[in-house]
Amino acid sequence: MVWFMSFAGVLWSLGGNSKFGILGWMGFWLAAIGTALISISPFFPDSEPLLNNYIPVLQQPVFFAGLFISGFGYGLTLIRALLTTIPEAPTASGEGALRLGVFLSAVAGSLALAGFLLSWLTAPALEGKAFYEAIFWGGGHTLQFQHALLMLVAWFWLASALGEAPNIEPRYVAVLFVIAALPLVAMPIIYAQWPAGSAYHVAYFARMMEAGHPLMLPLVLLAAFSLRKLWNIKSAAKSAFFASFVLFAVGGVLAYMIRGVNVVIPAHYHGSIVGITLAFMGLAYVLLGQLGFSEADGKMARMQPYVYGCGQLMHVLGLAVSGGYGVQRKVAGAEQMLTTLPQKIGMGVMGLGGTVAIVGGIMFVLVCLKAMMTPKFTSA
């Protein structure tokens, strides 16, 4: 959540103008302070975890302080985004179409944050995991649209940076972004009709996700056509674009293979969120040079998305195979009851893939640090 919201802040800042800068800086520092508190909270006593969906929590005061402070920071950043990213002529250029996508993602994020707040104020008298499930369910499903819209923006941005922007009128791209965001209209309707924690609230937000995300398919196909033209290019941006597309597609396919409550569910969403992460990684490489740092396009940078992506693909497929053989989600150790060879192989591949992905994540950090610490211009 912190990674996605932070990179969303980057895109909202780039997609807007220079107005209301104080909101941007306040949002940044509050998010940073909140993240620091969340990071140290496990080292305090009584850090009991609850594995509810979307934002799992530690029932510990330092964690909640960090969550509220960072949430307030993201809220200020979203307010600024809504005020500064409104496209004046979204159909006039490719840049205008992408700016519309950035604005629509800010709308999704604002609705999600409002959903979290409204659920917190109106949630029924539940305890433990059920209480936080009720708080984060509606907003969490809405927040998915923010992440997915920004991934699409990142894909088209990468394609444009690589010289293969979609061969289609920008006004049509803008229309497709609006269609992709249309399911957000259902969010306030659901909250108005069914309170947080109710059976219909849960069911209709799940339905919004299932029926709404396929509306992004035309934009996904447009990105695929751009990607098809990039096979011979050697670039960190191209590597990230390709790996992102594959992981997101795998995650999408696995969504339709979910049967019951097993580890196919995390296989689906790990594929999807890693696809988004790789898109943001690739865009980070492009932006480093534009923000005054050195270009991030050496051999390590070109290999990093493949290492990270392959590790995560192993992780996802291991989970998918294990889920097909009945391994349950959110259990560990003996509770997994790994009794058959396919179950053990699947979970073993998952663990190995996770290790490879960690290596890929470290490579990303090293590439970025090297670019940021190396002067962009050197004298002869």
pLDDT in tens, 311-362: 999 888 888 777 655 565 555 544 455 556 666 677 778 888 889 999 999 9
Tell me the pLDDT band of 363, cut-offs 50, 70 and 90: very high
180 in any annotated domain: no
311 in any annotated domain: yes
Burial class (CB in 10 A: 0-12, 13-18, 19+), 33: middle
Whether the pLDDT of residue 300 is over 80: the answer is yes
369 in any annotated domain: yes
**Cα 76 from Cα 249, distance rounded (Å):** 33
43 in any annotated domain: no
Q: Give pLDDT, residue 335.
A: 47
Domain housing 310: 234-374
What is the average per-residue pLDDT within 244-248? 94
This prediction has a pTM of 0.90
What is the average per-residue pLDDT within 251-255? 86
Whether the pLDDT of residue 91 is over 80: the answer is no
Tell me the CA distances in angstroms from 41 to 6, 33, 57, 60, 364, one per residue in order. Answer: 20, 12, 11, 7, 26
What is the average per-residue pLDDT within 160-179? 89
∠ Cα 96 100 103 (to 5°): 135
Counting the structural domains of the chain, the total is 1
